[in-house]
Structure 1
Amino acid sequence: MDVQKFIQSGILEEYCLGLLSDEESAYLIQVAMLFPSIKRELTAIEETLEKFSLANAMEPPAETKEKILASLGFADSETLPDIAQMPATDKNTDPKTWLNAAAHLIPENPTTPFTFHQLRKDEHFQQMLIIATTHVPEEEHDNYIESFFILKGYCECTVGNDFFQLGPGDFLEIPLNVKHNVKLTSPCVVAVLQYEFV
């Protein structure tokens, strides 16, 4: 395979934008696992798109939230927890509280491979809501401890030599410098993703 030609073909960008079929996406994930340079380029594109999305995100008018909540039958939005003020997740976290707080961010039928909603970030900690419809290829981190808390859906996670089956309410922390991947076993997974910077 001509790796450079594959990278320059635009297929990596199409994957990140959710424009590939399921078969094409599966093929690309396999290729990325076989060729480290393709995996690095895919990761760089994903990170660039995420930064672009966050940099260009527009806050909707305040009254929009009230209108949406009212149309869903929540006359008093004060009864809903503020997702930006939710604590860090751990093995004792209640998924129902998070689902109530994040309901307005979770589409009924997600179609893009990955959707991120940044909840909070400072020099020590970052917390995001992630909605995934495809597997997460193998990765490894040396500058932050990653953890995730499953709100909806099911997945299998390999962390080093350990294997985990996860579903709603499950929490998993991934140590530094350990290779790991996530394979979805349901159409989508919604999780709270956290990075604790070291």
Structure 2
Amino acid sequence: MRTHGWAGDPPASDEEAVERIVDAAAACIDEVGARVDMAMVASSVGITRQTLYRYFAGRDALIAAATTRAGVPFVERLLRHLDEVRSEEPLVDAVLFCLDELPADRQLSVLFAPGSFNPSVVGEQSLAFTLAVLAELPGHGGVPAERRDLVVELVVRVLQSLLADPATATRDRGELRRLVEVALAGSRGC
């Protein structure tokens, strides 16, 4: 474990160090959104950037850690929504919920800033998280087990594309639903 810096209060373990760094990253995201950088997070924890890089390979890895933690309450809201609307197409309705809610979520919106591309969105950690979410959807979203990995990647890429385009927010809701339905039509093995 590294103990240099830490504003005079070194962590007791590497796990505590990572937790403090992720907490700081989340606070920085709340403060400045997608403009968060490694120097800002390091400064708020009281460590050097070099120390920060010992725990996180780069900004994308740090953002992924912070947003994965923020994803849990988001998924809980998503599942409540699907239950409330008694969705007959849970995967389509989940994507539409994400299109509505992700831009307003201060923590998660950093992944999908309009006009940007964040490679961690389609990274291993993100896809594993999304696969776990799919497993929670009613009937697994109607996706056969042998297609889940591919469908998860497709869903994440569709979300990333649509959220990165500011025009998505102005699209007709029915048209957007049809687009998502067509994009995911093959997910059921059709």
Q: TM-score, normalised by structure 2?
A: 0.34
Greater helix fraction, Structure 1 or Structure 2: 2
Q: TM-score, normalised by structure 1?
A: 0.33
Greater strand fraction, Structure 1 or Structure 2: 1
